[in-house]
Protein backbone atom coordinates (compact mmCIF):
# COMPACT_ATOMS: atom_id res chain seq x y z
CA UNK A 1 0.00 0.00 0.00
CA UNK A 2 1.52 3.28 -1.11
CA UNK A 3 1.58 6.09 1.41
CA UNK A 4 3.90 8.89 2.35
CA UNK A 5 6.11 8.78 5.42
CA UNK A 6 5.03 12.20 6.68
CA UNK A 7 3.19 12.08 10.01
CA UNK A 8 -0.38 13.31 9.49
CA UNK A 9 -1.59 16.32 11.45
CA UNK A 10 -5.30 15.60 11.08
CA UNK A 11 -7.65 12.90 9.79
CA UNK A 12 -7.91 14.46 6.32
CA UNK A 13 -4.12 14.31 5.93
CA UNK A 14 -4.10 10.71 7.18
CA UNK A 15 -6.79 9.58 4.73
CA UNK A 16 -5.21 11.33 1.72
CA UNK A 17 -2.09 9.17 1.99
CA UNK A 18 -3.90 6.06 0.78
CA UNK A 19 -5.19 4.76 -2.57
CA UNK A 20 -8.80 5.62 -3.41
CA UNK A 21 -10.42 2.30 -2.34
CA UNK A 22 -8.75 2.55 1.08
CA UNK A 23 -9.64 6.24 1.38
CA UNK A 24 -13.29 5.37 0.78
CA UNK A 25 -13.25 2.82 3.61
CA UNK A 26 -11.52 5.24 5.96
CA UNK A 27 -14.10 7.91 5.16
CA UNK A 28 -16.92 5.41 5.81
CA UNK A 29 -15.43 4.67 9.23
CA UNK A 30 -15.01 8.37 9.97
CA UNK A 31 -18.60 9.25 8.99
CA UNK A 32 -20.01 6.34 10.97
CA UNK A 33 -18.11 7.38 14.10
CA UNK A 34 -19.10 11.03 13.63
CA UNK A 35 -22.77 10.08 13.33
CA UNK A 36 -22.65 7.76 16.35
CA UNK A 37 -20.78 10.31 18.49
CA UNK A 38 -21.49 13.77 17.06
CA UNK A 39 -19.94 15.55 20.06
CA UNK A 40 -16.68 13.59 19.88
CA UNK A 41 -13.51 15.43 18.94
CA UNK A 42 -11.31 14.27 16.05
CA UNK A 43 -7.57 14.04 16.54
CA UNK A 44 -4.50 12.05 15.56
CA UNK A 45 -3.08 9.84 18.27
CA UNK A 46 -0.45 7.13 17.90
CA UNK A 47 -0.21 8.29 14.24
CA UNK A 48 -3.79 7.24 13.47
CA UNK A 49 -7.24 8.80 13.43
CA UNK A 50 -8.79 8.96 16.86
CA UNK A 51 -11.89 10.33 18.51
CA UNK A 52 -12.14 11.54 22.09
CA UNK A 53 -15.22 12.24 24.15
CA UNK A 54 -15.37 13.94 27.55
CA UNK A 55 -11.57 14.20 27.52
CA UNK A 56 -11.19 10.43 27.21
CA UNK A 57 -10.21 8.19 24.32
CA UNK A 58 -13.25 6.90 22.48
CA UNK A 59 -12.05 4.94 19.43
CA UNK A 60 -9.21 4.81 16.91
CA UNK A 61 -9.09 3.40 13.39
CA UNK A 62 -6.34 2.86 10.82
CA UNK A 63 -5.57 1.38 7.43
CA UNK A 64 -3.25 -1.60 7.25
CA UNK A 65 -2.05 -3.81 4.40
CA UNK A 66 -5.16 -6.00 4.20
CA UNK A 67 -7.65 -4.54 6.66
CA UNK A 68 -9.04 -1.56 8.52
CA UNK A 69 -8.10 -1.74 12.18
CA UNK A 70 -10.71 -0.52 14.64
CA UNK A 71 -9.66 0.11 18.23
CA UNK A 72 -12.55 0.57 20.68
CA UNK A 73 -10.54 -0.65 23.65
CA UNK A 74 -10.94 -3.85 25.61
CA UNK A 75 -14.42 -2.99 26.87
CA UNK A 76 -15.69 -2.25 23.39
CA UNK A 77 -14.42 -5.56 22.05
CA UNK A 78 -15.61 -7.62 25.03
CA UNK A 79 -19.14 -6.17 24.99
CA UNK A 80 -19.64 -7.20 21.35
CA UNK A 81 -17.60 -10.41 21.41
CA UNK A 82 -20.41 -12.52 19.98
CA UNK A 83 -21.05 -10.17 17.04
CA UNK A 84 -17.31 -9.84 16.40
CA UNK A 85 -16.63 -13.59 16.41
CA UNK A 86 -16.06 -13.73 12.66
CA UNK A 87 -13.34 -11.06 12.74
CA UNK A 88 -9.73 -11.34 13.79
CA UNK A 89 -9.39 -9.42 17.03
CA UNK A 90 -7.26 -8.88 20.09
CA UNK A 91 -8.05 -7.50 23.53
CA UNK A 92 -8.80 -3.97 22.27
CA UNK A 93 -8.75 -4.23 18.48
CA UNK A 94 -10.69 -5.62 15.54
CA UNK A 95 -9.61 -6.24 11.95
CA UNK A 96 -12.13 -5.61 9.16
CA UNK A 97 -10.67 -7.23 6.00
CA UNK A 98 -10.63 -5.30 2.73
CA UNK A 99 -12.38 -8.12 0.88
CA UNK A 100 -15.59 -7.71 2.93
CA UNK A 101 -17.96 -4.77 3.43
CA UNK A 102 -17.37 -2.77 6.59
CA UNK A 103 -19.92 -3.65 9.31
CA UNK A 104 -20.89 -0.01 9.78
CA UNK A 105 -24.03 -0.67 11.84
CA UNK A 106 -21.92 -2.71 14.27
CA UNK A 107 -19.23 0.00 14.36
CA UNK A 108 -21.95 2.52 15.21
CA UNK A 109 -23.27 0.39 18.08
CA UNK A 110 -19.75 -0.07 19.46
CA UNK A 111 -19.07 3.69 19.31
CA UNK A 112 -22.35 4.46 21.10
CA UNK A 113 -21.42 1.89 23.75
CA UNK A 114 -18.05 3.61 24.21
CA UNK A 115 -19.81 6.99 24.57
CA UNK A 116 -21.92 5.50 27.39
CA UNK A 117 -18.77 4.09 29.00
CA UNK A 118 -17.06 7.50 28.91
CA UNK A 119 -20.14 9.18 30.40
CA UNK A 120 -20.30 6.61 33.20
CA UNK A 121 -16.60 7.02 33.97
CA UNK A 122 -16.98 10.78 34.11
CA UNK A 123 -19.77 10.46 36.69
CA UNK A 124 -17.49 8.27 38.84
CA UNK A 125 -14.75 10.94 39.05
In tens, the pLDDT along 91-104 reads 999 999 999 999 99
Mean confidence (pLDDT) of the chain: 94
Residues 59, 71: contact at Cβ < 8 Å? yes
Q: What is the pLDDT of residues 12-45, one digit of tens each?
A: 999 999 999 999 999 999 999 999 999 999 999 9
Domains and CATH numbers, the chain: 18-124 (3.90.1150.200)
Task: Give pLDDT, residue 125.
Answer: 66
- Output the pTM of the full model: 0.92
Find the helix or strand (DSSP H, E) in which 123 lies. Answer: helix 104-124
Task: Give pLDDT, residue 122.
Answer: 80
The count of C-alpha atoms lying within 13 angstroms of the C-alpha of 97, restricted to the half-sphere facing its C-beta, is: 6
Which residues are within 8 A (CB) of 55 and not within 5 positions of it... i.e. 6 or more apart? Answer: none
For 84, other C-beta atoms within 10 Å of its C-beta total 21
Q: What is the pLDDT of residues 109-123, one digit of tens each?
A: 999 999 999 999 888
Amino acid sequence: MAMTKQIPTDIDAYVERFPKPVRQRLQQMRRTIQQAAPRARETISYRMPAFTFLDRNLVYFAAHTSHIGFYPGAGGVAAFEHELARYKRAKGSIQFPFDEPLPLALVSRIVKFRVRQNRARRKQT
